Amino acid sequence: MVKLSFLLGATAALASAGCLAPPPGAAEQPSAASPTSPAASQSPGNPGDLSKPLLVWNGDTVSPTAKQWASCDTQPCTATLDPMPKVGTDGSAGLEFKAECKSGYVGFGWNWTSWYAGGANDITGRKTLKFAIQIVSASPETAPDPNGIRVRLGCAKYKACGKLIGSLGKYEPKVTDGQWHQIAIPLVDMKSEDKDQWDDASVWEFQVHNWAPTPRDFTMHIDDISFE
């Protein structure tokens, strides 16, 4: 579990303004990612063949050596994110995010370039973010509200770089029913907040954020992150 101290000061802003706690300073971290890894093969400035889906992570053959962070801000709480075998769709590898808290923020980021800016993807001309998600809760009472789950993309060019949707429930109201769902989010729906800048040519991180004043205890699986 990665505990981020700066998130302790972000709770009030999350509650009052609906803002996200910022992701860690990933761009400043060194990386051992190889520029010849699958994610790095499409360099910034080269969006590739727009007629074909751009798969940036599937846990098996595309960017298996990505890096992550996970956080919660109201102690006691736990938040962990790990790639795991057989938790993805059809028994493939996938991401497993476990969160338990009495209130406050929980969230994670999955950087498929291992914070290697040279491996970021150019999604210029792409129209849709797609991914598979499954959310299994300890009880209906501790499931996250679908309308309170925010999906965010990060990019490498700026320290505060991102754009997001405010509600995953808008795209799949039943996302917390324990079943796998294929999510398609039009990129035109994703907006940058006032503190953020955006760059289509250096996309490198997938994030999920949730804040609520109520307890949550759930496991989230993510697989097959792509752009079309």
Kindly report, residue by residue over 120-158, the tens digit of the pLDDT.
Answer: 999 999 999 999 999 999 999 999 999 999 999 999 999
Instruction: Please say if the pLDDT value at position 25 is more than 90.
Output: no
Nearby residues of 153 by Cβ (< 8 Å), 6 or more positions away: 129, 162, 163, 164, 190, 203, 205, 206, 207
Domain count, the chain: 1
Kindly report, residue by residue over 105-114, the tens digit of the pLDDT.
Answer: 999 999 999 9
What pLDDT, on a 0 to 100 scale, did the predictor assign at position 142?
97
Instruction: Please say if the pLDDT value at position 86 is more than 60.
Output: yes
**Structural domain for 31, as ranges:** 5-227
Q: What is the mean pLDDT of residues 177-190?
A: 98
User: Cα–Cα distance between 112 and 60 in angstroms, integer?
Assistant: 12
CATH number of the domain encompassing residue 213: 2.60.120.260
Q: What is the mean pLDDT of residues 89-106?
A: 96
DSSP 3-state assignment of 173?
coil
β-strand partners of 105: 211
What pLDDT, on a 0 to 100 scale, did the predictor assign at position 33?
34
Is the pTM value of this prediction over 0.85? no
pLDDT band at 46 (very low <50, low <70, confident <90, very high): low
- From edge to edge, which strands make up the β-sheet containing 149-155? 67-72, 104-111, 203-212, 149-155, 162-165
